[in-house]
Amino acid sequence: MNITGKTKIIGIYGNPIEHSLSPLMHNKAFQALNLDYAYIPFNIKKENLKDAINSIRTLGLVGLNITIPHKEAVITSLDEVSNEARLIGAVNTIVNDNGKLIGYNTDGAGFYQSLIKLTGEIPKNKKIFIIGTGGASRAVAFQLALEEAGKLILTNRNYQKGYQLAEELANNTKSNIEMVEFKSSKIEDIIPKVDIIINTTPIGMYPNVNDDPIIAPELISPNTIVCDLIYNPYKTLLLRKAEDKGCKVVPGIGMLLYQGVLGFEKWTGVKAPVEIMEKVLIDFLFNKLPR
Ligand code: NAP
């Protein structure tokens, strides 16, 4: 990479930031397409976020990713926020449009894209069971509701927190929303009857790869699509068990990939080299991450 005065700079703000795979993915993509862009990670403390956002204009950054813990707090510092990002209450992508900072959320859309690409199925009118209602779940649930999923059934260990998301979804989208008690007997009836199951909790994530899956895989029907947002391991025990039953599965790396693909295309206006971005992520996952 040859950085000059003409190079367009994209950044990512987070804390911690050293584990982010986005610099690897985007720099490889810029290189592959011979684009004069560079993607640079910045470790930004909470108390410096406002200044750091203002410096996007000062430094002339073309765009930015925002990651934990700034995705929610950043909203008040932006000039405009997309409908999805406003509903989700979080921004992960910023475009600097001649000094106007526009915030987007490509996490939910990234998940949605990966689901379609990997399964060939469209979630519209489907019955979907979402386990966990944290930050990633919010993005996924709102995107699915906006894409007219037939019904979203949510469950969460902390019922009150889950209920709050269910209410927001019901009040702001046309989807049919239901909230059920975590690990209640009702869930045993729900699992075999839904079209799509999504684990948004960290259960099964490295190093706890052999922990019991969040739901009993025996209950899953073979024609159900099973998704896990976890990307290390590449396929969680839940996904492997679901595959054994004949289910189509969607590993979390797809969401990571496509949130980046969507950001790349917003910043550059160029079609992202998806296969190259995917390969660099998978190579890293299998060869560099502890597993
Ligand atoms: P978060 O905001 O902390 O939410 C975590 C969720 O998991 C909450 O609903 C929490 O329930 C639940 N949970 C945590 N531990 C649990 C346990 N032992 N038993 C049952 N439920 C439990 O985290 P997040 O940012 O949404 O991330 C969640 C997962 O998604 C992580 O594995 C993360 O790596 C993955 N993720 C993947 C991508 C991607 O691009 N593939 C992007 C973002 C996140 P309570 O409310 O009861 O605490």
pLDDT in tens, 8-23: 999 999 999 999 999 9
pLDDT tens profile 27-57: 999 999 999 999 999 999 999 999 999 999 9
Torsion sign, CA atoms 268, 20, 70, 157: positive
Average pLDDT, stretch 123-144? 97
Residue 228's pLDDT is 98
Average pLDDT, stretch 233-262? 98
Cβ neighbours of 55 (radius 10 Å): 15
Give the strand pairing for 100-104 and 93-97.
antiparallel
Question: Which of 28, 71, 126, 235 is labelled catalytic?
Answer: 71
Residue with tokens 């779940």: 137
Report the nearest atom of ligand 1 relative to the CA of 259: 40
What's the whole-model pTM score? 0.96
pLDDT tens profile 176-215: 999 999 989 999 999 999 999 999 999 999 999 999 999 9
Mean pLDDT of the chain: 97
Radius of gyration, alpha carbons of the chain: 19
Residue 220's pLDDT is 98
Would you state the structure tokens that stand for residue 192, as one six-digit string? 């075999």
Residue 82: which pLDDT band, with cuts at 50, 70 and 90? very high
- Å from CA of 200 to ligand 1 middle: 5
pLDDT tens profile 267-276: 999 999 999 9
Cβ neighbours of 47 (radius 10 Å): 7
Q: How far is CA 232 from the centre of its chain?
A: 14
- Å from CA of 246 to ligand 1 middle: 26
| Ligand 1 within 6 A of CB of 233 | no
State the Cα–Cα distance between residues 252 and 206, nearest whole angstrom: 13
List % helix, strand, coil for the chain (3-state, nearest 5).
Answer: 45, 20, 35
State the Cα–Cα distance between residues 265 and 262, nearest whole angstrom: 5
| Ligand 1 within 6 A of CB of 251 | no
H/E stretch holding 155 = strand 151-156
